[in-house]
Amino acid sequence: MTDTRTTDLSLTQAAAARVRTIAERQEKPAILRLSVEGGGCSGFQYRFGLADTVEAEDIVAETDGVRLVVDPVSLDLVRGCSVDFVESLGGTAFRVENPNAAAGCGCGSSFAV
């Protein structure tokens, strides 16, 4: 059964729009998977990718018809986070605002708890 507790995660409208654009170009569903892996300069690192399906155990947040999915193991490290899409002079990127992160690196793709 898919758990749809949106209080655990959120996806901004900017991020949803970017996921939709990428998914349309790649002819895939508008499903962004966020996972956490060991490594990076701060201990853990975020991984993003388009998913073909939502797995039964995934936690799902939806914004404007775009779904953000996280597996239960990664959820422990990103519970309460918000995923945004930012554009700056340094480039464009998905950015995670993670209330569980005690420290992060300058690139924004790794964190420590």
Residue 30 CA neighbour count, 13 Å, CB half: 17
The reported pLDDT for the residue numbered 62 is 95
The reported pLDDT for the residue numbered 33 is 97
What average pLDDT does range 51-55 have in this prediction? 95
**Assigned CATH class of 9-112:** mainly beta
Is the pLDDT higher at 38 or at 102? 38
- Would you place residue 93 in the very low, low, confident or very high pLDDT band (cuts 50, 70, 90)? confident
Domain ranges of the chain: 9-112
User: What is the per-residue burial (b if ≥16 Cβ within 10 Å, else e) of 84-93?
Assistant: bbeeeeeeeb
Q: Which two tokens stand for residue 71?
A: 């597996």
Instruction: Give me the chain's average pLDDT, please.
Output: 84
C-alpha–C-alpha distance, residues 8 and 76, integer Å? 10
Is the pLDDT higher at 91 or at 26? 26
What average pLDDT does range 81-88 have in this prediction? 91
